[in-house]
Structure formats: C-alpha cells, structure tokens
A and B are shown apart, each in its own frame.
Chain A
Amino acid sequence: MATQRINTNSEIHPMENLLRMDRMPHIWCPTCGIGLAVTAFASALEKANIDPNNVSIVSGIGCTGRVAGYVKVDSFHTTHGRPIAFATGIKVASPKTKVVVFSGDGDLIAIGGNHFIHAARRNIDMLVVCVNNFIYAMTGGQVAPTTPLAAYATTSPYGCVEPPFNIPYLADSSGAVYVARYTALHIRRLTNALTEALNKKGFSVVEVISPCGMYYSRINRLGDGLEMMKFYHDNVEIRHGEDTKNLEIGFQTKIICGKFVDRERPSYMERYNQWLSEVRDSGKRPKGKKGA
C-alpha cells in the first residue's frame, strides 16, 4: 500500500487530498513539531474514516493557529483564544458536523482558558488538539502559561516564576471525556490517539508536546531539533491511565505521555436534544416570567 500511495514520479503528495498543497511551503520553522502534529492529524482523519467534507477545523492565533489554513476541509482562522467559542457555535448550529479545534497552548490555555474549561464542562462534542511548545513563539518567545518553572523566555529573562498549567489535569477536572498527551516524536501513537479521539463523542483533548527550535530551545540552550527529539526519546515515559494530577512538566524533567482519560458522559447536544424532545412531546411549559 505504501508504495502505491507515495509516488515520487508524479510528484503527488501522499496527503494531497487533505492538505492545501497550493499553500506550501508552510510558515513553520525548521525543527518545529507542528507539521508533525498536522501529519498525524491528517493520517488520523483517513484512519478514522471520516468524510473530510463534513469536517470543520477552527484555529486561533499563533504558530499552531495557522494549521486551519493548511488542512483542506472547511476551515476558519479566527481570533486569539476564541477558536473553541467559534467552534461551539458551529457545533450547536450544525450538530452533524465533525468539529476540530487546532491551536497552541497560549491560545487555548491563556487567553482562551475560559472557553476551554466551559466547553469541557458542557462536553461540547469536539476534538481539541493543543500543540504545547512551552512558549509564545510567533510573538517572539514570551513566557506562556505552560512555560516550566525556571525556564527562560523573552519575558522571563531571569527564569519563569509562575507554575505552569498541567493541561491534561485541567481538561480532566473540567469534564473532558478523552485526554491524551504525546510528543511530536511519538507520531504513530499520536495518530492512534487522534483517530480514537475523532471517533469519541464529547469533548476530547489531545496535547502534543512540540519542540520550538527558534525560541524555547534556543533561549534555554537545549540544542537543535534533533537534540530536542532525542530528549523526548530518552525522557518520555508512557503511562496510560496515569492520574492527571501527576502530569506536570518541569524544566527538562521526565514527560509522562499516554491516554489518561477515556470515559462516557452525555454530550451537550445529547442533553439539548433530550430536553427538546421532552418539550415537544409533553408540551412542557417554559419556566420563568411569561413571555407573552
């Protein structure tokens, strides 16, 4: 199969059907892991057997915010931090659509943190792919809500003094039904997790740890992309089902990856439709001040 798909003579990219080849080359720097996350996502879309015509992808602002522009489905590049809110509107207005939010840690967890926790609480049926590179890269390497304690950034020149968010724990405690984390090195496991999450009903979060060769690793003297990948190789421990409380990432400490949460909870639309049919069948009267 592989030889059939990768045909170098005709110069057709194996993911031509799912990527906007007319936009290549993309804007991401050498050593960046976002491209790998996109590759994993595109493979997952194929593996999950989802009709791309029925997928809407929404991104915010930042390096990962550019993902929507490269994936050939209905795609929206929206405001900073708000892709989940925008995507919520799509999902509620068109429940049959498969909705994916693809954005970065700063976008989703700092400025978009409120939307993240509320969408998880409501259990809006969407997949959120959060690429975490520990820094605001597009704006010049500022400290992020995920920057490990003591790590340097352009706005933490003496080392970061704020403890970082543990994204899987935040997602878990807010009500997400599927939570996994892999690095950009774990492309096969990541693809499998994304495939599983795409078919999961409810709010699913997949965190992708990505190297940032231009800012995070440069200012912290962590070496080039290959060295970052080697670090992941040597320091990642796969622990499925690990309590999300234990998933904090310190500066150059061990990174625990795996699938941590996979549970069932009625999604927002399931509850909404149940309420709707009750109203319609029973002629239930609205509560509150009489409208007419």
Chain B
Amino acid sequence: MKSDKTGVLTGSHILSGNEACAEGALAAGCRFLGLYPIMPSLEVSQRFLQRAPEVGATFIQMEDEVSALAAVLGASWTGKKSMTVTSGPGFSLMMEHLGLGVMLETPCVIVEVQMVGPGLGLPTHPAQADVMQSRWGSHGDYEIIAYAPSSAQEMFDFTIKAFNLSERYRVPVALMSDAHIAQLKESVVIPSADQIHIEPRRYFDGPRDSYLPFKRDKDFVPRMVDIGQGYRFHVTGLTHDDRGYPIMFEECQEYNVHPLVKKIRDYVDEIVDIQETKTDDAEVVIISYGSSSRAALKAVEQARAKGMKIGSLKLNTVWPFPDARVSELAEQVKAFVVPEMNFGQIVQEVERNTYGKANVLFLHHGDNGVEYTDDILAAAEKASLMTETKCGIIEWKKGST
C-alpha cells in the first residue's frame, strides 16, 4: 500500500465502504481524526490510523464521542482538515458539538455509519433512521449538509465532496452511511491527485489588526485564519458579532444566526446533488438514498423491461432537500415511492413537497435494503395504477396489493 505524496492511493482497489471512506478523507487532505470506538465504523479509523504515518496525519482516540468531535473542532482551527467517525449512539453524543461547529463555523466532516436504534437498538445492523437527526439533532436554528453514499465508490467520492463543501460553506458536513455500505466490499477507482478537485480553505490574509472572524463575504461565509498566525482572534459559541464577541440581544441573534441558515438555503442549487434515472417520462418516481437506492435502481431497470414508466431520483445529498425538483416532479408524476430503512423520515420531506398533487407511497424495509427490489417494484406497480390522489403518506406493506 503506497500512495503518492499527497496521500492519494491512485489505482483500482477492492475496498469496503469504510476503507474507501478513509481513503477519500486522506485524498481530500484530511490530516486529523478524532475518534471513539463504535461498530460498525471501525474500519474507517483503522484504515486511517494505519495510513497516518505515511501521509503525516495525526489522530487521537478520545474518551467519548463528545470529546472526539470537540477535538476535531479544535484541530480544524489549527488549519488541519479534520473528521470524526461514529455510529448511532455516538452520533447522539455528538449533537452538542455539531451545534458548536455550526456556531463557530468550523469546517469538519462527521462520518455516521447508521445502525438500528433507538437507544441501543440492534447494534451493527444497518438502518437509515438518523437522517432527521443529522438535520435537527442539535438545539437551535441551523442548516446542515449531509451526503448519503450507496456504494464503496460513493463512500470515497462523497467523503471528498463532504470536505469540499465543509470548507466552502464553513459548516460541519455529515456523511450518512449505513452498516450495509460500510461493510460492502466493492471495486473502487481512485483517480490521480490532479484529477481530484479539492476546495481550499478560504483564508483572510489582511493586516493582523483588521481581522474580524465573522465578517461575512457576499455569500455569507466569513474568511478563516489559523491559530498561531498572530491574529489573536476570539470565537464563542454564544450569539456574537463580527468580532466574535458575545452580544446578548435579539438583534444580534438575527444578525448572527440568520446568515448561518441563509449561507446554505441561498445556495441550495449549488449544494444539492441528485441523480435522476429515467424520470423524463416517468409516471412513478422512486425517491431513495443510501443503500436503499441500490434496490430502487434495480427496480427501475426491471420495471422498464416490463414497459412500465418508472424512474428514480437518488438523493446523493439528503440535506438540504431538493424541494424545488421534487415539487416540479409532483406536477408530472402520479406517485412517488419512498423506500427507507426506517419508519418514515425522508418520506415526510417528499410529501411536504407534493402539495397534494401526487400520491406518496412509503415503503418501510428492514435491515437489508438491497434485497427489497421486489417490494419496491410491487409498490411502484400499485402506485402507477392509482386513479385518485390521496393526501398524506400511504404506507405500503409487504405483500399488500
């Protein structure tokens, strides 16, 4: 295992999703990993740690997930791209510092290998039940970016994209994997370093006494500096002004926090990453993400072979949600079918965007998404035969006709 000097392991490899994620992080320039052990995310840390000496990356195993993400935020301010890796219960513990990361506008990546919850759940079985948590889990108002990879290759690609958007928007980015993708071994093609787009951190380089850590550019994103450069700046998790000083007034809340939301919402078109398959003439569109989309795409293939007009919209980014595109499709299609490894999360976003113009069928499926092609196909068939449009979410049960 020998990579080039930038840490990119160019070539074709057989990697698990977790290993591909670690390679993606190294290729993106991540040089700090703060972690706390939890399955099924082990191989991300293991691979990163094994490769760390060669690429000059540092890491520390902290005493819990709370401190793991805290250390990542601290490390990010030294100029090192930083990430942490966790799963369900650990992700819950990270909510505190997800909020701090948003408030301090600290770039970092959180890899979340979802497993069955709540509580202790069904450890290491895959699920997609933390997607709403990734968006709403920390207190207060904020916006977040989250990717949902569906293959080992996407674990590599999306990890790089997650780092890029995290630097571009100065926001923690979540990579919402699941135990299925994490353990899946597949062929991963890693391009050469010059073929990989890396978004550089946007630094302030003006005079030392004129730096305002939260003075926003036109795109609402402030410029950053590293510690130790003599700027002697202050940042606080409290509501603050451009200087980073706490200001305890409602006006400042508007001044400080509204841009945190706007810097994502106003750039949704640039951030949203969706992959459409045969939606042009589709009567039914399957909206899916992560490992469920593997089954969804297979269902589309089989449906088309039967002559049914079924398409797929795969969410590469689950957050922000592609509101505009889904409501546009709602005008065109009879129904959406939303298969998820949970009891209904993203389906609520879909339903919200149909404005009663299309049926929304929700398909709950268990812990092995890729085996549910038949169910998805049956649900899509049923949806294409529906003559009237019902409000609300229609739950599709396995074997129901």
The interface of chain A, by Cβ under 8 A from chain B, is: 20, 23, 52-54, 56, 58, 68-69, 72-79, 82, 84-90, 92-94, 96-97, 114-115, 118, 272, 276, 279-280, 286, 288-289, 291-292
Report the nearest B residue to A99, measured CB to CB: B74
Q: How many residues of B contact A (CB 8 A)?
A: 53
Q: Contacts A92-B58, A291-B1, A291-B47: A280 and B246 contacting too (C-beta < 8 A)?
A: no
Q: Which residues of A contact B59 (CB under 8 A)?
A: 92
Q: Which residues of B contact A52 (CB under 8 A)?
A: 232
Q: Which residues of A contact B227 (CB under 8 A)?
A: 56, 74, 90, 94, 97
Report the nearest A residue to B69, measured CB to CB: A85
A to B CB contacts below 8 Å, 17 in the list:
A52-B232, A56-B227, A68-B234, A68-B236, A69-B236, A69-B245, A78-B73, A82-B97, A86-B70, A89-B78, A90-B227, A94-B78, A94-B80, A94-B227, A291-B46, A291-B50, A292-B1
Q: Contacts A90-B227, A286-B50: A78 and B232 contacting too (C-beta < 8 A)?
A: no
Quick check: is B230 within 8 A (CB to CB) of the other chain? yes
Q: Which residues of B contact A78 (CB under 8 A)?
A: 70, 73, 100, 237
Quick check: is B140 within 8 A (CB to CB) of the other chain? no
The interface of chain B, by Cβ under 8 A from chain A, is: 1, 13, 15, 19, 31-32, 34, 43, 46-47, 49-51, 53, 58-60, 62-64, 66-68, 70-80, 82, 96-97, 100, 104, 227-238, 245-246
Contact A79 B96 (CB under 8 A): yes
Report the nearest B residue to A88, measured CB to CB: B71
Q: Which residues of B contact A77 (CB under 8 A)?
A: 234-238, 246
Contact A85 B228 (CB under 8 A): no
Q: Contacts A52-B232, A74-B228, A82-B70: A88 and B97 contacting too (C-beta < 8 A)?
A: no
Contact A89 B32 (CB under 8 A): yes
Contact A87 B74 (CB under 8 A): yes
CA distance A292 to B46 in the complex (A): 11
Contact of A89 among B73, B228, B232 (CB under 8 A): B73
CA distance A115 to B64 in the complex (A): 9
Output the least CB separation between A288 and chain B (Å): 6
Report the nearest B residue to A66, measured CB to CB: B246
Q: Could you list 19 further interchain pairs (A-B, Cβ under 8 angstroms) beyond the known A89-B78, A280-B53?
A: A68-B236, A69-B236, A74-B227, A75-B234, A76-B74, A77-B246, A85-B63, A86-B70, A88-B67, A88-B70, A88-B71, A89-B70, A93-B78, A97-B228, A115-B63, A288-B50, A291-B43, A291-B50, A291-B51
